[in-house]
Amino acid sequence: MKASHWFNSFIVLLVLILTVDFRHGIYYARADAGGTGFVQTTATKFVINGKPFYLNGFNAYWMMMFASDNSTRSKVTDAFREASKYGMNIARTWAFNDGDYKPLQNSPGSYNEDVFKGLDFVVAEANKYGIHLILSLANNFKDFGGKDKYVQWAKQRGRNLSKEDDFFTDSVVKKYYKNHIKAVLTRINTITGVAYKDDPIIFAWELMNEPRCPSDPSGANLQNWVKEMAAHVKSIDNYHLLEIGLEGFYGESMPEKKQYNPNSYSIGTDFISNNQIPEVDFATIHIYPEQWLPSTNSSEEAQLGFVDKWIEAHTMDCNSVLKKPLVIGEFGKSFKLPGYSLEKRNEYFQRIYKAIYSSARNGGSCDGGLFWQLLSLGMDNMGDGYQVVLEQSPSTASVIAQQSRLLSSLT
């Protein structure tokens, strides 16, 4: 167990204060100073209240946006209810929308309270259904604003910036982002009355969805940014876990590992050195062979071979080099792919779930996975090809439920 977590757990014997919403009969737990109820790490394992904790869950980036509109809010509840029915215990969603449609952050430091209340609702419903949250704080891509929006804001205020990767180095942009971190972490939930940084239902903060800095293939700029921002997060909240949001691409710290990168990717990230930063509690990878592999090597057999090697390489590195847990933060299979079938999707999920369970059962570092993405009934317009609607896919739901049971048997 990390020294800071051991110290906090040993010194602070906590009593949970229960905040009761009598209108709904829901109890919201707040840990007075962190510790009890919070997920922590010990070597390559997650633990909660001293017991092992394995992850089986989903991505649903859309939750805050839908929760901020009364006409669509029920879709959030539906998603949590269905996920809970099949034993899922973790969800990953956005805690950002920067200057885009229904923005959370209209401009630097200016927030849309109705949208923030939508995020409050997401956190409250997660509490209600016992599903932990990974909250991502920014986007690498232009969807929902992304790092480019921060750079544009700075340019509008006189900064001489030329590229979106200036997000990682410009002092003004970094200040904007740090302020957003503080705004989210210190937010007092209008439903539960609990500050986000004090709510154990939040599993972890994520610095950015899939950070990339291709303008600096050396990886130095992103490495320095992660160091600075990870320290900033921990200065505000030292009880929740923190991860970066990486896809898993290797860099210059161990160049021999770059052979595992698909299509010779070199995008300024370094799975090893980025995750060796002390404030980073666990590592993540994403898996999209159909997007990453060159078209000349994109047979289904080649893709599955890549998946196996990708998981194995990163699990071994987390076992022996990083000595931290590993989470497969995104994986999925799109029905838009040639040759797609529901059976192939189920087999693909089972393949990844088997790797996770085998690692967990044998004491390895790969402790869970989250598929992309979960939708509720009636959300057809949000489909991207990867969506899973549990009510419409009972065979996939059964595969997910089986993984939940297997991981639960290990605790």
Active site residues: 210, 330
Could you tell me which residues come within 8 angstroms of residue 11 by beta carbon, excluding any fewer than 6 positions away? none
> Three-state DSSP class for 202?
strand
What's the full length of the chain, in residues? 411
184 vs 233: CA distance, rounded Å = 10
DSSP 133-156: EEEE--BSSSTTSHHHHHHHHHHH
Q: What are the structure tokens assigned to 229, written together?
A: 């921002």
Q: Which amino acid is at 167?
A: F
* CA pair distance 407, 200, nearest whole angstrom: 21
Question: CA 341 → CA 180, 306, 333, 393, distances in Å?
Answer: 42, 20, 10, 12
Question: Could you give the CA distance from residue 384 to residue 67 in angstroms, rounded to a whole number?
Answer: 20
Distance in angstroms (rounded) separating the CA atoms of residues 411 and 408: 6
